[in-house]
Structure 1
Amino acid sequence: MLTDIIIHDLDVIFCGINPGLKSADDGHHFSGRSNRFWRVLHQSGFTPYEIEAVNDTSILDFGYGLTTAVARATSRVDELSKEEFDDSLEVFKAKITEFQPKYVAFLGKAAYKAFSKKKEIVWGQQSEVFCGAKAWVLPNTSGLNRGFSLDDLVTSYREFHLAIQK
């Protein structure tokens, strides 16, 4: 089981699609060897050093939190059903409403597409707010996401980091 790392009034809650098997097993977000989240977060300017997954709760020190759209762990996102996203929506909305982050950053298009019911999703800031938070869609840092190199990911995340500094 993977526990949310959230407190009230964060700048950003980063929302992964669902936990990977290793993360769920060891209880730390983005702990899979091939996941690039912590490296990308650091290289794009969110953190002054690369946080190790075992220290994932330290992300709160920088004004950021972590959650997932769907709680069930899988090895691949395509193992999740449309119904699992539908069943998770109300819990997720309640969480965002309660904790009131300035931004929700969806890591990958899958969760935002399922939650917004939109057919087409663009990368970056979304035109509508999500439960009072500005929504942003970033590429997923999973090692299975071969469509984005490390440099591509860092560029996308840096753009987001710069935007929220304004």
Structure 2
Amino acid sequence: MTREDTRTARDRVVPDVIAGGLRVLFCGINPSIMTATTGHHFAHPGNRFWPVLHMSGFTPRRLKPSEQRELPAYGLGITNVVARPTARASELEAEEYREGGRVLSAKVEEFGPSWLAVVGVTAYRTAFGERHARIGPQERTVGGARVWALPNPSGLNAHWTVATMAEEYARLREAVGEHPAVAGGQR
């Protein structure tokens, strides 16, 4: 990426991958500069979302970020708490998270996914005022969807390995009532 790519990426809005009636809407913290540049969610090479999604059984093969439009066929989608791209999530203000939580609630209510999976427990805590939330299923609902806080797949999250993240994502998949994905999104 050039310096100009980085500068213009900060002004881009990355479209959601969303459709009505999804089983799980995955919600990132906010787009990275790489995501904003490519238009593909979780596009940074160090991000482990795509391998974890496959290893946990949500997809029958490891998708590339450029294949994100295949997700709704598996009953899956992607959005973000905050729409503003940044190099690091630490650049975001608490009010951006809270406003993002309000926007996210309305979006979830509109599209009606069964589950909202927030990939980053700190983002979930801040956006929804749940200071003591932990990884796993949450008591509250958002926009009518059940909520699960998942580990952030960023390569910067060294507390979780690909394998341990895949185990947690698989717990969500089992709670959703899905068998591991097979071709065509059928069970």
Shorter-chain TM-score bucket reads: over 0.9
1:13 to 4, 21, 25: 25
2:76 to 59, 64, 68: 64
| Whole-angstrom distance in 2 between the partners of 1:100 and 1:15 | 14
| Whole-angstrom distance in 1 between the partners of 2:48 and 2:101 | 26
Residue 108 of structure 2 is aligned to residue 86 of structure 1: no
Deviates more, 1:113-122 or 1:57-66: 113-122
Residue matched to 2:87: 75
TM-score by length of 1: 0.96
- SS in structure 1 of the partner of residue 102 of structure 2: helix
Q: Is the contact made by 1:6 and 1:65 (CA closer than 8 Å) also made in structure 2?
A: yes
| Whole-angstrom distance in 2 between the partners of 1:64 and 1:10 | 6
Residue matched to 1:148: 160
**Residue pairs, 1:76-115, within 5 angstroms:** 76-115=88-127
Q: Is the contact made by 1:17 and 1:110 (CA closer than 8 Å) also made in structure 2?
A: no
1:21-70 Cα shifts (integer Å, max 9, x gaps): 10011100111000010100001100000111111111111000000000
Q: Is the contact made by 1:10 and 1:100 (CA closer than 8 Å) also made in structure 2?
A: yes
TM-score by length of 2: 0.86
5+ long unaligned stretches in structure 1: none
| Whole-angstrom distance in 1 between the partners of 2:75 and 2:98 | 29
Residue matched to 2:146: 134
| Whole-angstrom distance in 1 between the partners of 2:114 and 2:88 | 29
Residue matched to 1:36: 48
Q: CA offset at residue 86 of structure 1? A: 2.2
Q: CA offset at residue 134 of structure 1? A: 0.2
5+ long unaligned stretches in structure 2: 1-12, 179-187
- SS in structure 2 of the partner of residue 58 of structure 1: helix
1:59-102 Cα shifts (integer Å, max 9, x gaps): 11100000000001111111100121122232211101100100
Deviates more, 1:86-95 or 1:145-154: 86-95
| Whole-angstrom distance in 2 between the partners of 1:141 and 1:134 | 21
Residue matched to 2:4: none
RMSD of aligned alpha carbons: 1.1
| Whole-angstrom distance in 1 between the partners of 2:43 and 2:51 | 11
- SS in structure 2 of the partner of residue 134 of structure 1: strand
| Whole-angstrom distance in 1 between the partners of 2:103 and 2:130 | 19
Letter in 2 for 1:53: P
Runs (4 or more) in structure 1 with deviation over 4 Å come to: none
